[in-house]
Amino acid sequence: MMCFALLPVTALADESFPTALEAPTDVILSIPKRGHGKYVYVTFNKSEALSAMINKKMEIIKQFDLDYIDFYIQIDWSLDSKDDWKYHPNWDVVNSSVGDPYFEGEYVNKILSSDTTERIPILNQNYKPDPANSNWRELSTHLKEGQYSIDEKGEFYIDWTKHTVYVRTRFVIRYKPKGGDFAYLISDWSPVAAYGKDYKPFEIPEKLEAPVISGLRMTDRTLNGGPVVAFNLKNPESVRKASAGAKPLSDYIIVVAEVSIGGGEWKEVGLSDRDITDGELYAELARAAESVSEDTHVKLRTRYQYHKGNGTFVLASDWSNVIEFGVPAWGNASQWATAELKKADELGLIPDSLRGTDLTKPITRLEFAAVCVKVYEALSGTKAIPAVVNPFTDTKDIEVLKAYNLGITTGTSADKFSPNELLNREQAATMLTRVFKRVTIPGWTIQTDSQFKLSYKKPAPFADDAKISGWAKDSVYFMAANEIIKGTGNNMFSPRATTPEEEARNYATATREQALVIAVRMVENLR
């Protein structure tokens, strides 16, 4: 079996192309109660990062200079045993043609959509046991005597009160760098799911978590005579699981959206996709407004609704957070910072998480990660993409995952990012220096950082030079030499708190406005 760690990712134009792939989650097996009941349906979820990659397929092809990329699900099954899997080593090299999901031959292989939840049929029980039928011959090689019966139409069927089918699934990314050979990124197998005598049915949840949304923006589209806005949807894990459980029952969970225009009442609007889908959605405002500009104050919120298959409403989540545009770039700021904050706004360096906020407050590690991503995009002219695999257990923030994928941060430990921890000045210097290296040094990664040295004239030592952590000194000197992060007076850099008293009064923390001013200097001085 091919191991993803051996993939020739160095052939790609950018090392941030994923090197690992999360396995399918929330795998559920079912047989519909009505219509097409002679299939076993495999329902599964994919990660937010994978959905985003599929949704941005053409952009990824361009960004990483590929001839081709596609995304597959492979389904392996075993009847009455967890040991009789159909897996064959040639599954590790996806054929150029797409496998038929209705054909249980060597494997089941199907191209994925960007929807979070998908459902695929396997084990077609419409065959007659006819040796002349090639489909039956192929399937029958995987069935043992006593595992199936023959109905009055002469078609075989499996009695699920006596038998159990087990299924495992995995994802495959097949891609081809320009001028190179096809390569494959293969996930681990999902946990094994079952249907039959060992089957436990899905129970409708008593409540749904609210959605998380971000990035509201105008588009140049119109629909039904009205403007269209775009935003990003992040679905909680509990809702993703509920979506996977609902689909086999022919139930469904949808997303509904409301907008407020110019401070007016909330009105429901149409969405480009009401299914549970991670990533960008479009909302058409024809019911709410005939025209909207970038200066119009627009607010948007969403929630989930669970419906039975016949359309009967069951329950709804609370409303999501409210996102908006047409608001000032900041709510409060110091006079000394105003001129450079205006530049930050013009350069697109203020992330959504900071717009309209009090910029005099200390900045968190999560907020600064978003600022660093903006700086990277401004310097490189390239959109950052999030890591496919999230190494952190304390955040799922997409901007943090972009920063991690770029090598801007490794977190505070192997599995912690500490998103709400306040940022100190030496951390800010280090993260921004990594941004510069990522943009300007071909082949740089955080793992190879020690192989690359920056060229600059080392400034005179700070009075508190001994307080600067060893791992941060080169970055601090580089920032100071380029007048990006200056001292705090009296030849002090104030890199970090070193005593409990300093920690208590947030000594050496950076404010939001300081971070944005630094970002402006970074772009102006080093672009």
Model confidence at 94, pLDDT cuts 50, 70, 90, reads low
Q: How many domains does the chain have?
A: 3
Distance separating alpha carbons of residues 480 and 26, to the nearest angstrom: 50
Rounded to 10 degrees, what is the CA torsion of 261, 275, 26, 393? -20
Model confidence at 9, pLDDT cuts 50, 70, 90, reads very low
Same domain, 159 and 246: no
In a domain, 205, yes or no: no
**Which residues face 23 on adjacent strands?**
none
Same domain, 343 and 278: no
Q: Give 418-444 pLDDT, tens digit per residue.
A: 999 999 889 999 999 999 999 999 989
Model confidence at 108, pLDDT cuts 50, 70, 90, reads low
Same domain, 320 and 411: no
Are residues 53 and 163 in contact, defined by beta-carbon separation less than 8 angstroms?
A: no
**Token code pair at residue 237:** 């894990």
What CATH number corresponds to the domain at position 92? Answer: 2.60.40.10
DSSP tally for the chain: helices H, then strands E: 11, 18
* pLDDT on residue 102: 35
> Which segment of 131-140, 185-194, 460-469 scores lowest on mean pLDDT?
131-140
* pLDDT on residue 267: 93
In a domain, 52, yes or no: yes
* pLDDT on residue 435: 95
Task: Give the whole-number percent of the chain exceeding pLDDT 70.
Answer: 93
Same domain, 26 and 173: yes
Mean pLDDT of the chain: 85
Distance separating alpha carbons of residues 39 and 31, to the nearest angstrom: 6
In a domain, 221, yes or no: yes
Q: Give 469-508 pLDDT, tens digit per residue.
A: 999 899 999 999 988 888 788 888 988 877 777 777 878 8
* pLDDT on residue 7: 32
Q: Give 305-349 pLDDT, tens digit per residue.
A: 999 988 899 999 999 998 888 767 788 999 999 999 999 988 989
Same domain, 273 and 362: no
Model confidence at 103, pLDDT cuts 50, 70, 90, reads very low
In a domain, 395, yes or no: yes
* pLDDT on residue 307: 94
The DSSP symbol for 381 reads S
Q: Structural domain of residue 189, as residue ranges? A: 4-196
Distance separating alpha carbons of residues 504 and 298, to the nearest angstrom: 39
Rounded to 10 degrees, what is the CA torsion of 364, 369, 370, 372? 130
Rounded to 10 degrees, what is the CA torsion of 130, 131, 137, 139? 30
pLDDT at 105 over 50: no
* pLDDT on residue 427: 92
The DSSP symbol for 247 reads G
The DSSP symbol for 29 reads E
Same domain, 220 and 340: no
Model confidence at 268, pLDDT cuts 50, 70, 90, reads very high
* pLDDT on residue 99: 43
Over residues 143-164, mean pLDDT: 85
Same domain, 487 and 354: yes
* pLDDT on residue 350: 92
pLDDT at 33 over 70: no
pLDDT at 228 over 80: yes
In a domain, 44, yes or no: yes
In a domain, 204, yes or no: no
In a domain, 228, yes or no: yes
* pLDDT on residue 370: 95
Same domain, 320 and 340: no
pLDDT at 178 over 70: yes
Same domain, 187 and 315: no
Last residue of a domain, one of 325, 348, 368: 325
Q: Give 285-302 pLDDT, tens digit per residue.
A: 988 888 887 778 888 999
Same domain, 312 and 441: no
Question: Which DSSP string do the residues of 407-419 spell out, in sequence order?
Answer: TS---SSSS---T
Last residue of a domain, one of 267, 296, 325: 325
